[in-house]
Structure 1
Amino acid sequence: MTNTEVPQDIASLTFEDALKQLETIVRELEQGNVPLERSIEIYERGAALRQHCDKLLKSAESKVEKIQLGHDGAAASTTQLDPES
């Protein structure tokens, strides 16, 4: 698996499901009683899960818009939300 490839089973996960799996992997690795080969396998899966979560978050950020209301209360215009502000 290269850095840009995400396994199909991960690509179909929702953000919440991917995050749950990632949290499980982190807990398992933090316990320190995982055999080396298993550690490598779950670390690689964790990296793919993190990449998938990042992609989903960036997609959500690009869709979030700040609605500016006109004097009559109707949406006058929309602008991309600036994540830095």
Structure 2
Amino acid sequence: MIRAVRDHLPGAVVHGAAAGLHLLVTLPGDVDDTAQAAAALRRGVKVQPLSWHGQRPQPPGLVLGYAANLPGDIERGITAVAAARHDLR
């Protein structure tokens, strides 16, 4: 998943990779992470906006789960998240 994020989401920063079943990814620029998550869902990929998880202001981002997914499924999912990002522009 880390490689797919780097390949398909330029400027995104991965946090917490050693934590287990999820990656936290912050996104560059002025992104509405809730709109980004909704656009990804329209493309068939469920992610959570980082803003749902914070009590203080923070950079926009997404929480990406990867448990029980094959590498090819992860690659396709991140590709869909990237395409959804372009839908918002």
Class of the TM-score when normalised by the shorter of the 2 chains: 0.3 to 0.5
TM-score by length of 2: 0.32
Between Structure 1 and Structure 2, whose CA radius of gyration is higher?
1
TM-score by length of 1: 0.33
- Structure number with greater CO (CA < 8 Å, separation at least 6) is 2
